[in-house]
Amino acid sequence: MTLLTRPTTPAPASPPDAPPARRRPRGPLAARRLSVALAVAIAVVQVYPLVWVFLTSLRPEADFASGNPFSLPSSLTFDNFARAFEMGALGTYLRNSLVVTACADVAIVVLGMMAAYALQVLGFRGSRVVRALFLLGIIVPVQIALVPLFIDYSRVGLLDTYQSMIIPLAGFSLPMSVYLFSSFFEYIPRENYEAASLDGAGPYRVFWSITAPLSVNTIVTVVLVNSIFIWNDFIFANTFVLSEDLKTVPLGLQNYIGSMGKVDWTATFAAVCVTITPLLLVFLVLNKAIIYGLESGATKG
pLDDT band at 107 (very low <50, low <70, confident <90, very high): very high
- Res 13: pLDDT: 54
DSSP state of 215: T
Evaluate if residue 212 carries a pLDDT over 70.
yes
Under 8 Å between Cβ of 179 and 133 = no
Q: Is residue 271 packed enough to be buried (19+ CB in 10 Å), middle (13-18) or exposed (0-12)?
A: buried
Estimate the crossing angle of helix 146-156 against helix 162-185, to 10 degrees: 130
Convert the pLDDT of each residue in 11-27 to its tens digit.
Answer: 555 555 555 555 555 56
3-state secondary structure of 247: coil
Number of H helices, E strands in the chain: 15, 0
Q: How many residues does the chain have?
A: 301
Per the model's pLDDT, the better-predicted residue between 137 and 156 turns out to be 156
Average pLDDT over residues 137-166: 90
112-121, 136-145, 288-297: least confident range? 288-297
Per the model's pLDDT, the better-predicted residue between 3 and 197 turns out to be 197
CA distance between the termini of the chain:
91
CA 52 to chain centre: 21
- Taken in order of first residue, the domains within the chain and their CATH numbers are 79-294 (1.10.3720.10)
The whole-angstrom separation of Cα 113 and Cα 204 is 12
The whole-angstrom separation of Cα 35 and Cα 23 is 21
- Res 27: pLDDT: 61
pTM of the model: 0.77
Convert the pLDDT of each residue in 253-301 to its tens digit.
Answer: 887 776 545 677 888 888 888 888 888 887 777 777 666 666 643 444 4
Under 8 Å between Cβ of 80 and 58 = yes
22-26, 142-146, 212-216, 275-279: least confident range? 22-26
Contacts 24+ apart (CB under 8 A), 62-71: 64/265, 64/266, 65/265, 69/265
- Res 1: pLDDT: 44
Under 8 Å between Cβ of 84 and 268 = yes
Whole-number mean pLDDT of the chain? Answer: 81
Neighbours of 265 (CB within 10 A): 16
Classify the C-alpha dihedral 218-220-221-226 as positive or negative. Answer: positive
Neighbours of 175 (CB within 10 A): 20
